[in-house]
Amino acid sequence: MHPELSRFLPTLPGCLGHTGTTPNAPLHGLRVLIPGCGHAFEAGCFAALGAHVVALDFSAAAVAAAREVLTDWKGELVHGDFFTYAPNEGFDLIFERAFLCALPRHLWPDYARQTARLLKPGGIVAGFFFYGEEGKGPPFAAAPETLTQLLGAYFTRIDDQAVANPLPLFPGERWQVWQRGKTELAARLE
């Protein structure tokens, strides 16, 4: 598991204001979404800690690849579009890994809005964000002020650190944790 993720996961219930977690399943009762999951390599980590995981991708090939990885698990693998995904229940955590930077920049405001919409009040989006000069892509790097503006409209950043072993393709990767406001954002999410 990525060191940043393994350090973060035990702190997640506390960030969400949960007390008295189950020692062997500290994420029991939490709902985790992995949008643009690709092979969904990280899905098993969350599920192994007791979370209910939804891994979603709009590519049939990605979903088939994820199915090969996710043998013997109880989560959901959804073949669908993140932007129109409308589950009955919100999520506690959305895990970001190479999804935002795969999207053309004109979709970024929709990404921020949909992420906020899919999270419960107080929910968290955490993961690896690709910083750099906003040149051609994909992957599409984000300048620091771009993400601050984009996600700051709905979230408060509660962690930000350089990634110990960034992927060669993502040299400016940073681990970040953003938390949605605890009140309903109905007006801003219309």
Ligand X SMILES: C[S@@+](CC[C@H](N)C(=O)[O-])C[C@H]1O[C@@H](n2cnc3c(N)ncnc32)[C@H](O)[C@@H]1O
* Interface residue list for ligand X (CB under 6 A): 35-39, 56-59, 62, 81-83, 97-99, 102-103
CA 137, 40, 56, 123 dihedral sign is: negative
Least distance to ligand X, CB of residue 185, Å: 21
User: Contact 51/73 with Cβ under 8 angstroms?
Assistant: no
The nearer residue to ligand X, 81 or 160, going by C-beta atoms, is 81
The nearer residue to ligand X, 15 or 37, going by C-beta atoms, is 37
Q: Given strand 76-79, what is the order of strands in its sheet?
A: 76-79, 52-57, 31-35, 91-97, 119-130, 173-180, 155-162
The nearer residue to ligand X, 56 or 141, going by C-beta atoms, is 56
The nearer residue to ligand X, 80 or 181, going by C-beta atoms, is 80
Least distance to ligand X, CB of residue 103, Å: 6
Least distance to ligand X, CB of residue 120, Å: 21
User: Contact 131/142 with Cβ under 8 angstroms?
Assistant: yes
Least distance to ligand X, CB of residue 17, Å: 28
Q: How many helices (H) does the chain have, and how many strands (E)?
A: 7, 7
